[in-house]
Amino acid sequence: MAQKLWEKSVQVNQEIERFTVGRDREMDLYLAKYDVLGSMAHITMLESIGLLTKEELDSLLAELKNIYAEADRGDFVIEDGVEDVHSQVELLLTRRLGDVGKKIHSGRSRNDQVLLDLKLFTRAQLKELAELVQDLFAALLAQSDKYKEVLMPGYTHLQIAMPSSFGLWFGAYAESLLDDMLFLQAAYKMCNRNPLGSAAGYGSSFPLNRTMTTELLGFDSMNYNVVYAQMGRGKLERNVAFAMATIAGTISKLAYDACLFNSQNFGFVKLPDECTTGSSIMPHKKNPDVFELTRAKCNKLQALPQQIMMIANNLPSGYFRDLQIIKEVFLPAFQELKDCLQMTTYIINEMKVNENILDDDKYLLIFSVEEVNRLAREGMPFRDAYKKVGLDIEAGQFTHNKQVQHTHEGSIGNLCNAEISLLMQQVVDNFNFDQVADAEKKLLQ
């Protein structure tokens, strides 16, 4: 059995080990290639301050690149008896290169190492989320433009209220994603600060060059105060989870609308046949299972910040093993949200709308406000116009030509999709993803 990094002469009880390690080895597979990246930056810095020779650095970097490639292919494993990803990387280096492999941990603690891994993993996941949000945003705006002339009922209290349009409906969710992207950007900016060098939370007596590792890894800056760097564990995950929950909230509401509007009682939209499922006894059924599952998954994701908060919120400063449990809910959540975004984008692209909804006179009364406004424009006081139309409705004498004349910004006749698209592009540009990509590419060359 491999010895733990922290183990001396006494071996820990096996049941205690099973309990304390938990699912850490499984969760650490998410972090493997990022642990390697962090080690590459760290040892490059160690060589610059005289703790490694140039020859040692070159051999370590070459082997770390091999391990990175293994992790990138999905071939990296944490062997039985090896505690975590950090131990496995160090074990592989020591096997392949000898004692020089044992030198890579100088000036580090597993505390700042795992926090670094989490940050590198998280910023990569946030980039993927941002790209998928952009895809859904583009699909929604395309459908908004395509169906901008098609009217549909708007509702308040699930009562027919005023005329809306598919241009407004699709476009509303696009603009919601714009706000969600601001949360995502804030989470990314908080994530993209370097904790490496904080060690166990109190720094190191080695003359570490933290500015160098910050630049090597493409961070915007560092977490300067070493105590705060460790206090950021748990806070990072919570803030990112809030950003993810915001996106999930938008998708959940969209999924609910789509399920409702797809039902025969509404008949506003038609989902692609390949995205629906049947019934075991009712041959006519085409169930919107994808959107129902999306709604459930997104509602679960909206509970993620609370889960993380309940684990971390009563801990004082310094590291505690409680924080390990956050990995189990946090790391897999990204794939779940990415799946929901991909499924939703596919269905939105293929969704068809009913272009003749308002031919049915059961929707006639949604034009009552249009008639009140017409009378007011012609000079009748608004309150008098309101009363007249109300009395006409009570008497069954209300009629309208089912036309609308909305021209102000953001209305049926002036969607402002170009302006919304420009705002989204500005947010995306401010992530500055290229800085990270360039740094990582240079490190791996």
Distance in angstroms (rounded) separating the CA atoms of residues 49 and 207:
7
Banded pLDDT at 20 (limits 50, 70, 90)? low
Q: How confident is the model over 308-336, as pLDDT tens digits?
A: 999 998 888 888 888 889 999 999 999 99
> Is 319 in contact with 334 (CB distance < 8 Å)?
no
For residue 22, the model assigns a pLDDT of: 67
> Is 130 in contact with 243 (CB distance < 8 Å)?
no
Q: Is the pLDDT of residue 288 over 90?
A: no
Distance in angstroms (rounded) separating the CA atoms of residues 304 and 345:
23
Q: What percent of the chain has pLDDT over 90?
A: 82
Q: Is the pLDDT of residue 18 over 80?
A: no
> Is 112 in contact with 365 (CB distance < 8 Å)?
no
For residue 155, the model assigns a pLDDT of: 93
Banded pLDDT at 6 (limits 50, 70, 90)? very low
Query: Which CA distances in Å does 251 have to 81, 129, 344, 421?
Result: 42, 13, 8, 19
Element (H, E) at 269: strand 269-270
14 versus 388: the higher-pLDDT residue is: 388
Q: Which of 105, 106, 109, 279 is catalytic?
A: 279
Clarify whether 279 is annotated catalytic.
Answer: yes
Banded pLDDT at 1 (limits 50, 70, 90)? very low
Q: Which of 157, 205, 280, 284 is catalytic?
A: 157
> pTM higher than 0.85 for the full model?
yes
> Is 137 in contact with 342 (CB distance < 8 Å)?
no
Please name the amino acid found at residue 253: K
Q: How confident is the model over 335-380, as pLDDT tens digits?
A: 999 999 999 999 999 999 999 999 999 999 999 999 999 999 999 9
> Is 217 in contact with 41 (CB distance < 8 Å)?
yes
Report residue 117 as tokens.
Answer: 């891994």
**Max CA separation in the chain (angstroms):** 94
Q: What are the chain's domains?
A: 14-103 (1.10.275.10), 110-152+164-205+227-358+415-433 (1.20.200.10), 360-413 (no CATH)
Q: How confident is the model over 208-242, as pLDDT tens digits?
A: 999 999 999 999 999 999 999 999 999 999 999 99
> Is 113 in contact with 198 (CB distance < 8 Å)?
no
> Is 130 in contact with 335 (CB distance < 8 Å)?
no
> Is 191 in contact with 94 (CB distance < 8 Å)?
no
Residue of 25, 423, 444, 445 lying closest to 185 (CA atoms): 423
For residue 151, the model assigns a pLDDT of: 95
